[in-house]
Amino acid sequence: MQLNRISAEIPQDVEDLLVQELEEMRKRLPFLIDLSIEERIAMPKSSRKLVDFIDTGLLQARTHPNYLPSFVDINEYEKDVKARKSLRRIYEALNAFTDRVRDTLMVVESEAYLAARVLYKTAKTAAKEGAEDAERIVKEMSFHYKKAFSGENTPVVAPAHLE
């Protein structure tokens, strides 16, 4: 059981600055939107193959504008293609960053959970020996593992790894 794979502290001013910078990034792209689940489902999806189709379509529209219906604005088509390329690059950089933050978060949460489990098991052992403060620790910590049941007189069960 490895308890200290990551040993780090994030000063409050750094945390605040990072959150502020993320908000500034969002403000620099004021056109960003949130889609509902229904909108996501209904929307035609792109893929690598379709990206090539889109790029080829723009090239063909520039070369043969007579085939592009008047209700499709070629300037907006070009903007969408350029924005897609920029957003894809930004998205991939953010994704790489987010993946590292997620993985690091997973490790530090796991380390903290393992430390809490060790404390809980040690306190359980001490409580069996009659240590009152240990009994209070066990009672308070076991509360977090109680299963929610609707009926009365239902036994409270802690996860097996805490037994």
In a domain, 19, yes or no: no
Range of the domain at 92: 45-147+154-162
Q: How high does pLDDT run on average in the chain?
A: 88
Note the pTM of the prediction, 2 decimals: 0.72
* Per-residue pLDDT tens over the stretch 13-59: 999 999 999 999 999 999 999 999 999 999 998 888 899 999 999 99
Total of domains in the chain: 1
Residues with Cβ within 8 Å of residue 43, at least 6 apart in sequence: 35
